[in-house]
Structure 1
Amino acid sequence: MTSPYLSRRAMVAALALLPVAGRAVAAAPSRDIRDFGAVSDPGRDQQAALQRALAWCSQTKGLLRLEKGGVYCHSDMLDLDGGAIAGMGATLKALDPNKGRLRVTGSGARISDLTLASPATRRIQAYSGFGLLVQAASDFTLANVTVRGAATAGIALDDAHGGTLQRILVRDTMADGLHITNGSSDISVSDYQAINTGDDGFAVVSYDRPNQKGRRVSNVRATRLTITDGHARGVAVVGGADVTVSDVRVVRSACAGLYLNSERSYGTFGNARITARRVQLVDCVTRKGINQGAVHIQGRPDCSVQRAGADAIACSTQSVTVSELEIDGLGPGARAGVVAAGSVRDVRVTGRRGAGKWARPAAVVDPGVRDPGAVSLKIS
């Protein structure tokens, strides 16, 4: 029979788990940016002082406080491995747009109330041109972060997991606003705004190239997205599994406002279990000759690179639900309000036409779709 009383040894072990009165839990250290020799100056390069401060933050996992409204110039890339930055409304200003990147790695990074600015005027392909790169990182938070100008994407999540992005503004980039790629997972985005991005406003992208790991981005939840005057798609998912977007407004995107596809030209995976709710698309597909729908859903039957595991190499687009959709006008390059094409199955779209002018069909299912019965497009 088990005794209802704790043994002396068990009681000692249990007490050891309780906090001891008067013994404070050690708080993370905090320091001001001035402690490292960096001061607000919109015209002076402070690369060395900034990286000293970030190195301290990385090593101690402490809190680095910037001067309220300060401007700090840097001539090369910056790195943060964990730790926290309280931006206080300050700006990190890149002097060389080809080396403007702030990279976040490791676990537990927190960045708040910070602007990253770059004078980029042309697009490059190198990772050094991002505004903010979160790479091989986990358990991170970005809050009240603004990116103005970047030679590539404004914010990129690369092999990033368990991240929260809140109140984000990206504008005037040379590539995507937010680019989520390379197997990133468990990402939450809320209150995101993209203006005049050089490519997609919000993009989930998984490549099937030989030099990639072959993992789809998964478990992304994004709500309250506003994307205006982007130079490609509004919301693009080209290689995503279990992705949900809600309360989305896309205005005058050059290509599709909502784009779910697998692209042979770029070597991207297909999509599975994609949900979009309460989506408003205003005058999308402004680029003449693009021939996409304001909502464009497409897939392909096979990938460029074959790998073991059917789910990992699936390039069709399947299990898509779009509800409470409003299409308010079409741009000159739009083929229809909604287009389903290529290798797709289990696609359901319900919505209505808004007050904008219409001269094209509300919905089109391409003759090439193998099973048209697996596609239901109801636009009233």
Structure 2
Amino acid sequence: MRISRRALLAGAGAAAAAAALPGCRRGRGVVDVRAFGARGDGVTDDSRAIQAAAAALRPHHTLYFPRGTYRFAQRRPSGDAAIVVTGVSDVAVEFDPGAELLMDNLDPATHTGTSHGVLVQGPVSRIALRRVNVRWAADAQRSLGDGIRVLGRPDGGAPVAGISLTDCVVRASPQAGVILMGASDIAVTGLQVAGTKADGLHFNGCRRATVDDYRAVNTGDDGLALVTYFSREPAFDTDSATFSFPSLTDWSNADFTVTNVHVTGGKANGVRIAGAKRVAVNQLNVTGVHSGAAVMVDSAEPGADVGWNYVASRGVSLKGVVAANCHTGIHLLARPGASGDRRFTDFDVAVDGAKLDGCDNWSVRAESITERQVSGLRLQNCAISSVSTTGGNGGVGIGNARDISLADVSIRHAKPVAAFDTVNTGKLTVDRLSVRVDQP
């Protein structure tokens, strides 16, 4: 049997890559994008080579990007992404520490995106993304284009399970940095996102996930969002690829553990939790969020005059929240309609060990936008310090609420302004609240 020189060299390159690949396991095949013609020089259009390499993935293969900058310039590619993983399980996508995927395929007339960076779509399982590094080449308008997009189906039609992201980086994407929808058994570790036009890390309709050591800088929307939408019947919106349910389910971003998260800047909230169930957030640090809250936990019933609807979250634990120089610290917000449906007012949120400094508005705010009272906030071991003289003045504000409890809460304010305020509030429990005002 004759083997061509090109095939021999490609095989030798793959063997060398397998030997050098840090995450390569014995018996796992390596699909090296350079063996398919990718140059990685930041100038050559490597689109076809990248797509061919991704199409060659088989179970127990690793798609490998050696050191270099791989320019993807093809607009509106087949599959809507530079790298598409669908219908094949037990695979990995791994970048060398010096490798980068450069997305250079914006529409030149509108500066809008024409594809995602990486798309993982069901049915698949046991997919590992290691050190995936995606950057858009130009300043894009908010439009199509997530850095990493994972799409499954909770109804079992196209399941996605066993997804891991390790030390990945996304910069300047036209939409979200990383978005996962309808996926289960997820592990996100060491993710860094900066300059996205939408959320940094977004979950919708997922279950059983861990997030650890996540950093978001100057995102166009929430730094971290756990959002599952409301509809009268379980539904999937094909246009937005989002899931919605009539009540909290085990797919309502349920059973999440989030630790060691840092959010700096951004145009919405540091962390947003809406329509979620059994979520534990530990060691959250949010700085410089001037257009929203460090932590927003909210609901919205149809008719509440907002674009999206979601029920009240339950089983939410926030421990070790540190917020500095934000518009609002921790905000519990209900937007009920006229029905009196308690799915939109009855929360279960426990905050323990919060340190909130320099909030322009309320440091802690629990409110309903109507007289239908919001409920279910427990706050303890909370230290507040503020110098604000506008808005809620940096203290604690409770409006149209019931079943709110405060324990070991201290408020230190530089100026004599309202530091603690309640309106239309019942069943309020306060144990050890201290207020100190520095100026007369």
TM-score calculated relative to the size of structure 2: 0.71
User: Partner residue of 1:103?
Assistant: 119
Equivalent of residue 188 in structure 1, options 188, 210, 232: 210
In the alignment, the residues of structure 2 paired with residue 249 and residue 158 of structure 1 have an alpha-carbon distance, to the nearest angstrom, of 25
- 1:153 deviation in Å? 0.8
Structure 2 equivalent of residue 92 of structure 1: 101
2:183 alignment partner, one of 148, 154, 160: 160
Q: How does 1:309-320 map to 2 (within 5 A)?
A: 314-320=343-349
Distance (Å, rounded) in 1 between the aligned partners of 2:338 and 2:215: 32
SS at match of 1:245: strand
* RMSD over equivalenced CA pairs, Å: 2.6
Give the Å deviation of 1:355.
Answer: 5.0
Alignment partner, residue 323 of structure 2: 281
Matched, 1:373 2:415: no
Corresponding residue SS for 2:309: coil
- The one of 174, 179, 193 aligned to 1:151: 174
Secondary structure at the counterpart of residue 314 of structure 1 = helix
Among 345, 349, 357, which residue is 2:387 paired with?
A: 357
2:178 is aligned with what amino acid? I
Task: Name the counterpart of 2:131.
Answer: 113
Structure 2 unaligned blocks of 5 or more: 1-24, 107-112, 153-159, 238-242, 246-250, 403-423, 435-440
1:123 matched to 2:146? The reply is no
Q: Distance in 1 between matches of 2:431 and 2:337?
A: 25
| CA distance 1:159–1:298, shift in 2 (3 Å) | same
Distance 1:220 1:201 in 2: 16
Mapped to 1, the partners of 2:40 and 2:184 lie a distance apart of 33
| CA displacement, residues 47-92 of structure 1 (integer Å, 9 cap, x when unaligned) | 22111111222x3340122112443424232311341012012111
2:374 is aligned with 1:344: yes
Sequence identity percentage: 23
- Structure 1 residues 283 and 317, CA, compared in 2 at 3 Å: closer, same or farther? farther
Any conservation in 1 of the 2:95–2:131 contact (CA below 8 Å)? yes
Distance change >3 Å, CA 56–CA 316, structure 1 → 2:
farther
**In structure 1, what is the Cα distance between the partners aligned to 2:194 and 2:149?**
16
Secondary structure, aligned partner of 1:157: strand
Deviation at 1:129, TM superposition (A): 1.4
More moved, 250-259 vs 367-376: 367-376
Q: Which stretches in structure 1 are left out of the alignment for 5+ residues? A: 1-24, 286-292, 305-309
Work out which of the residue numbers 256, 281, 299 in structure 1 matches 2:334.
Answer: 299
Residue correspondence of structure 1 range 171-250 to structure 2 within 5 A:
171-181=194-204, 183-209=205-231, 211=237, 212-214=243-245, 216-250=252-286
Matches within 5 A, 1:73-92: 73-75=72-74, 76=77, 77-78=81-82, 79-81=84-86, 82=89, 83-89=91-97, 90-92=99-101
CA displacement at 1:367 relative to structure 2 = 3.4
- Looking at both structures, which has the greater relative contact order when contacts are Cα pairs under 8 Å and sequence separation is at least 6? 1
Change (3 A) 1:377 1:146: farther
SS class of match (1:99): coil
Question: Which residue does 1:324 correspond to in 2?
Answer: 353
From 139, 142, 152, the equivalent of 2:165 is 142
Q: Comparing 44-53 with 364-373, which one deviates more in the overlay?
A: 364-373
Q: How far is 1:26 from its partner?
A: 7.9
What letter corresponds to residue 372 of structure 1 in structure 2?
G
TM-score (norm 1): 0.81
CA contact (8 A) 1:294 1:327 kept: yes
Cα 1:325–1:70 shift into 2, 3 Å = same
Give CA-to-partner distance per residue, 1:82-125, whole Å, 9 cap, x none: 4101201211111124124111131111111121111342112x
CA contact (8 A) 2:385 2:394 kept: no
Change (3 A) 1:371 1:216: farther
Q: Which amino acid in 1 is paired with 2:326?
A: C
